[in-house]
Structure 1
């Protein structure tokens, strides 16, 4: 029996983003104000979403070289 592959959502909520990085929402909004947060999408209800690809690219851009 094969288990179904669980697909990750292609967009993250701000809470999911913050939980993944173990940061507060205020830190996220500080980064956003400074222009250092990943690109966001504003959906019709006003909430923000972050494309998983943008998040991954944002993380890669912050990697330190050894």
Structure 2
């Protein structure tokens, strides 16, 4: 059974070309991909959630 790839927040920010502050503003509005907080406090985004978020963004820009 393969596990879903978990991306660090910085990797996500680099991929989507967004600053951390802009990402958190978008997150406050409920428009960001779902974050997972690890026991050590670090944040991760699953590849599946990021890909689904990208697809949703593309559909809304049609």
TM-score (norm 2): 0.83
Q: Which has the higher contact order (CA 8 A, sep 6+)?
A: 2
Q: Which runs of 5+ in 2 are unaligned?
A: none
Q: Normalized per residue, which structure has more helix?
A: 2
**RMSD of Structure 2 on Structure 1 (CA):** 1.3
TM-score (norm 1): 0.79
Q: Which runs of 5+ in 1 are unaligned?
A: 1-8
Pairing 1:13–2:11 present: no
- Name the larger-Rg structure: 1
Structure 1 stretches of 4+ with a deviation exceeding 3 A read: none
